[in-house]
Amino acid sequence: MNQEKTISCCCVLDASTYVGFWILKRLLTRGYSVHAAIRKNGESVLEEKIRDMEANEERLEVYDVDVLDYQSILISLNNCNAVFCCLDNPEGYDEEKEVDLEVRGAINVVEACARTESIEKIVFSSSLTAAIWRDNIGTQKDVDEKCWSDLDFCLKKKLWHALAKTQSEKAAWALAMDRMVNMVSVNPGLIVGPSVAQHNPRPTMSYLKGAAQMYENGVLAYVDVEFVADVHIRAFEDTSACGRYFCFNQIVNTEEEALKLVQTLSPLIPMPPSYNI
């Protein structure tokens, strides 16, 4: 049997992202103490929820961080054993500058972890889009954890979400190996779940750029956010966990499955006229 971690203190950065918020909730449910590190992105519904939770939950502390401010990251990591690094841009991915910000943030988080003695593991939240995009996507038989999206292809097609996730994860892995930091990455498909259209609209739409090609090539996959959160926590708790883990519940292969996904994401994606009542 795999040895598991005892209850400890974890940092979720950025806890106000959709995935980060659900990791935070699941950690508290499991008895962990949590440092909720929140980037200064302006007020959001999830940030307000977290600050309200802090008033009633003694195991929760909120920290304001700037991923470009190395010292603010260090402060949020104090006495933590793990970091769940969730750097989704709440404004989505429409330009190359957002890619650069995410890469620099990932590097700063890993370097801060390397300089924090209490940190035992980084669980890095990436995306399936960091693995599926390349010129020959339709001819490749299998997409697995050894695959990476082609950076030039992503840049040419302006697949900014895929570019950000690929570059930031690669940068995190390179630095983690250089600094001998224990890291695991979780690469979920499109994340769905409670109020996703309200709480995570722009990252969702950024993920879906190129959705028709993903569908045609059998790589349009999605996953429930609560399942994703549990996978992240398991990746920390299981001491044998290593490398990259693809994470999805469903691959969209039929028109019926595609319609079900559209319904799940309503009103972000309008229903086809023939299906409207």
- Known catalytic residues are 165
How far is the C-alpha of 116 from the C-alpha of 158, rounded, in Å?
A: 36
CA-closest candidate to residue 169, choices 105, 233, 249, 265? 105
Diameter of the chain measured on Cα atoms = 59
Rg (the chain; Cα; Å): 18
How far is the C-alpha of 21 from the C-alpha of 166, rounded, in Å?
A: 22
Q: Which residues contact 105 (CB under 8 A, 6 or more apart)?
A: 67, 68, 87, 168
Strand locations in the chain (E): 9-13, 33-39, 60-65, 82-85, 121-125, 183-188, 190-192, 221-224, 243-247, 250-251
